[in-house]
């Protein structure tokens, strides 16, 4: 009997078999779609308003199409900058671990799901309530340490309250549900 975990493993194994270049192409294809939408919209604007968007949009279309075509033909446009690209390594997603692709994709998907859950929690319950629920849940799921999970959640909520509400006198979002109650 296959469990949902097995199905997920099979899904990510399937995704890992796809050449990573396809994902990169899809990413640039999405950008191309956005640029074309901007160009289409810009046509209706007055000349002064549409000049720069159209200039930049056309250049971008050329660059994106060129990059995609080069990728499709199997050639890499490997023109590095004259200094070899020297902004800090924070810019490079270098995998230092021995993770296989399937595991990495699964972790990436999990990270994205956690982010979406975080956003939804804040939207529904507001920041403070979301903190005492989300943070312990996140820590417990990853570390299986209930004490640390609770302490981190409460500590974070207290820290955020003191910093933002008391020190900065900022009003923080209460959530959609607070408005309904």
Partner 1 sequence: MFGAAGAITEPIVLQQTGELWEAVRIATETLLTPRNVLFLLAGVLLGLLMGALPGLGGPVALALLIPLTYPLGVNVSIMILAATLGGVAFGGSVTAILFNTPGDAPNAATLLDGYPLARQGRATEALSASAIASASGAIVGLLLFLASIPIVRQFALLFHSVDIFWLAVFGLVTVAVVSRGEVTANLVAGGLGLLLAFHGFNQVTGTARFTWGTTYLRDGVQLIPLLIGLFAVAEMLRLASERTTVSSVSIGSGGTLAGAKAVFENRFVFLQSSIIGWLIGVVPGAGGTVANFVAYLQAQNVSSDPKSFGTGNIRGVIASEAANDAKDGGSMIPTLGLGIPGSASTAVLLGAFVVNGVIPGPRLFQENLQLVFIVIFALLISNVLTSVIGIVLARQIARLTRVSVTTLVPIVLFVALLGAFVNRGNFGDVTATVVFGVIGFYMLKFDVSRIPVVIAFVLGPIAEQNFHRGLQISRGEYSIFLQRHVSIVLIVATVAVLLLPLVRHARKRRSGER
* CA distances (Å), origin 174, targets 43, 134, 167, 181: 41, 15, 18, 11
Chain Cα centroid distance, residue 64 = 21
* Separation of alpha carbons 63 and 73, rounded Å: 15
Nearer to partner 1, 5 or 92 (CB): 92
Residues contacting partner 1: total by CB under 8 A: 78
The answer to whether residue 112 forms part of the interface with partner 1 (CB under 8 A) is yes
Terminal Cα-to-Cα distance of the chain (whole angstroms): 44
What is the spatial distance between Cα 154 and Cα 145, in angstroms, rounded to a whole number?
14
Query: What is the rounded CA–CA span in Å between residue 127 and residue 118?
Result: 10
CB closer to partner 1, 18 vs 59 = 59
Q: Which of 6, 7, 10, 41 binds partner 1 (CB under 8 A)?
A: 41
Q: Interaction with partner 1 in 113-172: which residues (CB under 8 A)?
A: 114-116, 118-119, 122-123, 127, 130-131, 134-135, 138-139, 142-143, 148, 152, 156, 159-160, 163-164, 168, 170-172
Q: If binding is defined by CB under 8 A, does position 31 make contact with partner 1?
A: yes
Cα–Cα distance between 29 and 25 in angstroms, integer?
6
Query: What is d(CA 156, CA 154) in angstroms, rounded to the nearest whole number?
Result: 5
What is the nearest approach in angstroms of partner 1 to the Cβ of residue 21? 10
Nearer to partner 1, 14 or 20 (CB): 20
Q: How far is the CB of 74 from partner 1 (least distance, A)?
A: 16
Binding to partner 1 (CB under 8 A) within 77-106 occurs at 77-83, 85-93, 95-97, 99, 104
**Is 139:113 a contact under the CB 8 Å cutoff?**
no
Our finding on whether 34 is near partner 1 (CB under 8 A) is yes
Q: Does 24 bind partner 1 (CB under 8 A)?
A: yes
């Amino acid at each position: 009997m296959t469990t949902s975990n097995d199905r997920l493993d099979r899904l990510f194994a399937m995704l890992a078999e796809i050449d990573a270049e396809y994902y990169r192409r899809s990413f640039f294809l999405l950008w191309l779609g956005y640029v074309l939408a901007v160009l289409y919209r810009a046509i209706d604007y007055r000349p002064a308003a549409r000049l720069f968007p159209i200039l930049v949009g056309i250049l971008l279309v050329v660059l994106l199409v060129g990059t995609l075509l080069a990728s499709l033909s199997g050639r890499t446009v490997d023109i590095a900058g004259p200094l070899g690209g020297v902004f800090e390594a924070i810019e490079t997603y270098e995998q230092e671990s021995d993770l296989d692709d399937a595991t990495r994709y699964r972790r990436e998907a999990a990270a994205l799901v956690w982010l979406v859950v975080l956003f939804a929690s804040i939207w529904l319950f507001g920041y403070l309530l979301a903190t005492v629920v989300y943070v312990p849940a996140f820590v417990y799921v990853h570390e299986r340490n209930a004490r640390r999970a609770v302490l981190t959640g409460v500590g974070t909520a207290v820290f955020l309250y003191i910093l933002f509400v008391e020190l900065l006198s900022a009003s923080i979002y209460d959530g959609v549900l607070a408005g309904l109650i």
